Structure formats: structure tokens, C-alpha cells
Amino acid sequence: MTGGSAYEVEPWRVRESRLDLDNLARSESMFALSNGHIGMRGNLDEGEPHGLPGTYLNSVYEQRPLPYAEAGYGYPESSQTVINVTNGKLIRLLVDDEPFDIRYGRLDTHERALDLRAGTLVRDADWTSPAGCPIRMSSTRLVSLTQRAVAAICYEVTPLDHQVRLVVQSELVANEAIPAAGGDPRVAAALKSPLTIEEHAAHDGIAVMVHRTQRSDLLVAAAMDHVVDAPGHIDVDVTSSPEVSRFTVTTQLEKGQTLRLVKFLGYGWSATRSRPAVHDQVMAAVTGAKLTGWDGLLAEQRAYLDRFWDGADVEVDGDPEIQQAVRFALFHVLQGGARAEGRPIAAKGLTGPGYDGHTFWDTETFVLPALTYTVPRAAADALRWRQTTLPAARARAHQLGLEGAAFPWRTISGEECSGYWPAGTAAFHINADVADAVVHYLDATEDSVFEREVALELLVETARLWRSLGHRGPDGSFRIDGVTGPDEYSAIADNNVYTNLMAAQNLRFAAELAAHHPDAAADLGVTQNEVASWREAADTMTVPYDERLGIHSQSDRFTEHARWDFDRTAPEQYPLLLHVPYFDLYRKQVVKQADLVLAMHLCGDAFTAEQKARNFAYYEAITVRDSSLSACTQAVIAAELGHLELAYDYLGEAALMDFGDLEHNTGDGLHMASLAGVWIGLVAGLGGMRASPSLRFAPRLPHAISRLAFRVCYRGRHLRVVVTASSVTYELLDGAPITIFHHGVPLELDGTPQEQAIPPIEASPPPTQPPGRSPTRRTATPDLRSG
């Protein structure tokens, strides 16, 4: 079992061999299907029981007011919350008038499996009704990666003993009841009945419903059509009402005969188009899906994923849990961005309503690296979405008295949604995170059109923010005061190292791009004096360093704060943000998530090897990892410094974040950044990959992993890297020859595999973590080769 859960360890599937009613919400997240436009939680076909029902459309949200006990200038007036749109997953079954409900009768077998190669969720169950009638049901569900607006379900029922009368009800349901959110502030606020009917109609097995959100004023449409195959006579009826449309099939089957229902679904929404236009969109989607047919949709899905895995697969020998976890992670990261096409990738993707469905810096810093080197088009789409939100970001900067654009800490449509100003206002590093993702995308793709049409504007507006936010200090250095870095347990600090170093990169790259495109930059109002001021600010950026300790201080005077009393902190008090006042956290040396350590990953050239080793040891001792964003970064730097077993432990934590429900909130959606972090931990950590301005590798493996192989896409080429304990083989699979670096030594790849020895490394003594906060010691399970 994986992480002590009910999921079997298999290389290409996540399989649940029994139904655990206490685990429903978590399994619904694990088994969620998405394509970046449509998201469907892995709820049971019949809808009940459920942990948390959910069907989502990317960027469909409702507004809700943000109340303040004391108002303040610049506070956002409202927030945005993802809503559960029309549920098309529902297929109810009645067996001789007995509803198929796994809580009644006898559930003889029940299995669900997420197939990572087929892109489907398959369910099989043998059930005996309370009246003693045994049946077998199976369903296969997909959200199409090729037809953006389409989902489909194949549902089959077979009586196992004697003649049975069956009624199958396929439904579209709006405003279904949502369980109340718990006390955890990270859980989305449930909104009651957010959809108001605009249109509903049904005829000839087709039903369509169009609703409007009450406050955000978005049109949401869903349609369904069906194909029924049964050996005998069937009666069909279709009805429609404002909140339920129902397609009903009634038939009588003999023992061993099968009723097969294929349900085609179309989804769409718009903030600007008319009701007829949205109606026609979803009708066209189901018409196209029906023309393709169920088998055609399956074939398209498999072909799409075959291409994806050919360029993105990661192979791990020696730890089957990590092997399963990285493929599961890549699958969900792909699902989050594959067809988002100008929409964001939320912190929980489209797998649940956690964090209100908001997008954070998680996307640019953790998710986009995985996409940039595997599905670069999806990374470009996510960055194009950021560009579309520039008007809101400029307005926010103006409201704060700043120039350029201030991207929001958390958002759905581009407006700031955080009512907690130390994060929502002061976490300006999101600007540099966006810029960093832009630069890495450009380096990896050499996309000249994107550079001129998207990248230049994003880099210019983010650079303007830094130049106006910072100021020249008495010693002539450039300072950025009063900001919150990645570590949310340290707020409103002066000269956060991560923020300052990332801002300096942002300023330099903006200056470089403006010089490269002078005419386009001039159209944005960029002057030579402005570019010069960017370069000067970057070159004189303040980077705090504690000479007494010989380490970088996370921010000014951070190392002078009192240390947190870890010995007197009980295990049940973690995460600290739920048990301790922020005031107390802000004035102590305690780190929620990797902050300065993340700077050493993303701005590695700003530190010497000796500084990295001392910094890492110091911050390990005060980092409590109350965030899912931390473990993968700690894995990367631990591996770079030769702490390979510690890196392996952190990799395991990132890999099992959702499998093991380590933060007890997988039920409201998967952690997209931690999922991407599995790829980062393996490729950037154990594989030692760094990029921009050149592709570099410095691989090393822990004892448990005997072989690591991964593929990356870089500048139109596909490369394969195969690492063993003593050597690494680099192979250019396609494209023109390219020079890479192996442990600092240039190496030209021309299509012939090249094997290189891995030089030994002498690590410093292993660092220690706060009491009770060390990562779980990773012990690999026996390798499995099935599937």
C-alpha cells in the first residue's frame, strides 16, 4: 500500500481495491479528472455517498464580500470562490425498484483505478440489492484532452442471477448541496445555490442547461447526449427543469445480458458572449463527441498521452512508490494545464475547492518548471493568462502608489482576493516569480513570438514595480523594505534575500529584453534612463549577510530574533498557523517553508558552495515545513550539497503529500505544487538539472534508487538522461546537436549516447531539523514490475 492508504502500488495506475467510506473525499481528489478547462472530482457515479461533490470550469467563480472589523485603504472589498457547476457525472441505477447505493444491500467487490496511460477512471462493482438481486456495474469516465469542452462516461450493467428490470437515470444537476466547510481557513467557503437558471431544454435524448452566476455574472452551460445499447426493448424519456435534467432508460434484462449507456457531456462558459452563443457551443461539443464516438474518444485520449509520456516520463528503479508518485504527479500537472488555454492553474488545479480555487505563486515557481520542460505550450498558455491580467495588476499597483504591475497573491480572474494584507499586499515576490517563469520558458523554447508579444510586457511591468517599490539606502545600495517573502512566518521584513535576488534577476532580464526589442519597448514607454535605473538597482541590490554567523540572514536582522522554542511545541500544535498567533511567529526565528533555501535553488549563482552548505545547515534547524511547498526545495539543495539520503527523505515527503494526506487536506483537492515538486525533486534534485543560460546536470543518487531516467524538452530537442550510482548517460533523441554541461564540464550531444562518470562528493555533516519535524526516514518497498 502507498503511504498507509488503500491505493495499490503499481507503476501506471492508482488503484483502490476496496471502498473506504471514511476516505471518500480524499479518493475523490485522487481520482479527479481534468483537462485544464473541465474538472471532475472522482465522485461515485450515483452521487451518493460523497465526501465533497465537485464539477468545475476553470475561472468560473462567485464573488463574496470580505468583511473587515476595521477597514483600511487598499483592502480588497471582495474575494472570488470557485463554484461547483452543473454536475454531469450523475448516473443513477435502480434494480427492480431498489436504488443502487453501496450503503445498502451487499457490496461484494468494488474497485476503482485511475489509468495514467489511458487517461480514464475505471470503476467495477458487484452488488447485491437488499432484495437479493446481484448485478455487476462498471463505468469508465474521461475528460477529453483533445476535445476541450467534452467529457464522457461509458456505463454498463449486467444482472448476474436472474431476469431484472433496470432503470438508469442520467442527469444534469445544478446547485447540488455542498457540505459545510470546516474550521481550516485553507478550505473553500461553500456558496449556496450560486446558479440562476437562464434556459433549460430537453428533446431526443439531449438536454441542455444554461445558468448565470448571481454576483460574478458569468454564463455557464452544460449539455448531454446519449447512446444506448441493450439486447431487448427499451423505453427512453427525457425531462428538464431549472435544476435537474434527466434522461431515463428502462429495460428488462436476462441473466448475463448487458445494458450499455454512453453519456457525452459538453461544458462552456463566458463572461461576454450571449446565452445563445454559449448554448450553441455546448451543443456543438456534444455533437462532435457523439460523432467521434466512445471508442474514438478513448483512442484520442490514449494517443495524446502516449505522446506526452514519450517526452515526459520519469523512470525510478528501486522505489516503486516514488515511481508511481511521479507519474501520478505528472499526470495531474498535465491535467491542470493541458487545455487551460489562457486560464490559470490553481493551487489545487481543478481537483477540489481548496484555497477557494485560487492561483498563487505556486504555479510559476513550482508547476511551470515541470510543464516548461515537458509540455512547453501549456506553460506558455499559463503565462499568457498572466498577461491578460495586467490591467488588474496595474490598477492594483496604482492603488498602492506604485508603478508597473502588482500581481495578486491569490486570485482567480486577476484581482487580489486576499484579505490578509501581510500576504495579499506585501508578498510582492509574486512579480519576480512570474518573471522567472517567463525567462526560463524563453530559455527552454527560444520562442521569439512569445518573447516580443508576451515576455517583454510582463518583464517591463514587473521591473517597474521593483524600481518604484525599492529605494536607495544611505550606503548607496538598493533596498526593498517591508515585504513578505516565501516564508509566511516572517512578514513585513526589510530586504528579504529571496525577494531581492529574484527582483534583481527580474530587473536585469527586463533591461536585456528591452535592449533587444527597442521599438516594442518604446511602445511600452520604456526609456534608456529607465533601463539604466533597472540595471543600477539590480547591480546594487542589498543582500543581507550575517558576518558573525557566516550565513545569509533571511532578511535584515532576522538572525537576531529570538529562536522559536521548539522543545516546548507539542506535535499537535503543527501547523503553527492554526495554533499560534501570527504576531508571535513574525518576531521569532521559525520558518514555515523554504525561503532562503529556495533562493539558493533559483538564484544559485549568487552563493558560493560554502555559503550554501552553511546556510542550509542553519535554516534546516528552524524550518518546520508547515507548507507543502517546502519539501521539494529542501530535497533539491540537500542533493546539491551531497546529503543524498536527506534529499531522498524530502523527496518521499513531496511524493506522498497527497497519497498519505500528510497535511490532512487532500480531501479538498490535490496539492499541485507538491505534485510538480516530485518532478523537481527527481530532475532538479537527484538529476541536478539547472537551466538558463545553459542546460546543466550534476546527478547523484541515494542508495535506495539504483537508476533514474528522465526526458526533457529543451530548445526544440528531446534529451534523455539515465543516471546510475556511478555514471550517467546523456542522449539527444532528436534535434540539432547541443552543448550541455556535466558537473561543470561541457559536453556536446549529437545523437550518440554519451556515458560520463559521476564524480564523488564529500558532504558536510548532515544538518538537523527542529525536534519532531525531520522528514520521515525513507525506506523503499520492494520493486514491482507489474502493469
Compute the distance between CA of residue 347 and CA of residue 358 in angstroms, rounded to an integer.
6
Q: Which of 549, 423, 434 is nearest to 489 (CA)?
A: 423
Compute the distance between CA of residue 269 and CA of residue 391 in angstroms, rounded to an integer.
22
Compute the distance between CA of residue 630 and CA of residue 505 in angstroms, rounded to an integer.
22
Q: Are 667 and 52 in contact (CB under 8 A)?
A: yes
* Set 98, 171, 457, 488: catalytic member: 488
Where are the alpha helices (H) located in 417-493, listed in sequence order? Answer: 421-424, 429-445, 448-450, 456-469
| 95 beta partners | 98, 166
Pairing mode of beta strands 562-563, 588-589: parallel
Phi, psi of 420 (to 5 degrees): -100, 100
Q: Cell numbers 464580500 label which residue?
A: 65
**Residue 262 contacts by C-beta under 8 Å, 6 or more apart in sequence?**
152, 153, 154, 155, 226, 227, 228, 229, 294
Task: State yes or no: is 321 an active-site residue.
Answer: no
Element counts in the chain: helices (H) and strands (E): 20, 32
Interior/surface letters 626-664, b for 16+ CB within 10 angstroms, e for the rest: bbbbbbbbbbbbbbbbbbbebbbbbbbbbbbbbbbbbbe
Q: Are 632 and 649 in contact (CB under 8 A)?
A: no
Compute the distance between CA of residue 90 and CA of residue 104 in angstroms, rounded to an integer.
19
Write the single-letter amino acid at 603. C
Count other C-beta atoms under 10 Å from residue 94's C-beta. 16
Q: Are 428 and 465 in contact (CB under 8 A)?
A: yes
Taking each helix axis from N to C terminus, what angle separates 644-655 and 630-640, rounded to the nearest 10 degrees? 160
Q: Are 727 and 758 in contact (CB under 8 A)?
A: yes
* Strand ranges for 75-205 from DSSP E: 78-82, 91-95, 98-99, 106-115, 120-128, 134-143, 150-159, 164-173, 195-203
Compute the distance between CA of residue 59 and CA of residue 271 in angstroms, rounded to an integer.
10
Compute the distance between CA of residue 135 and CA of residue 125 in angstroms, rounded to an integer.
8
Compute the distance between CA of residue 210 and CA of residue 267 in angstroms, rounded to an integer.
10
Between vectors from CA 188 to CA 673 and to CA 279, what angle results, nearest 5°?
95
Q: DSSP per residue over 659-715, as a string? A: TTTTTS-GGG---HHHHHHHHHIIIIIIS--B-SSS-EE-----TT--EEEEEEEET
Phi, psi of 167 (to 5 degrees): -125, 125
Q: Cell numbers 515585504 label which residue?
A: 483
Calculate the alpha carbon distances from 389 to 342, 383, 454, 630, 690 in Å: 10, 10, 12, 28, 29
Calculate the alpha carbon distances from 108 to 37, 50, 300, 716 in Å: 36, 19, 34, 52
| 34 beta partners | 39
Taking each helix axis from N to C terminus, what angle separates 275-312 and 320-337, rounded to the nearest 10 degrees? 150
Active centre residues (catalytic): 488
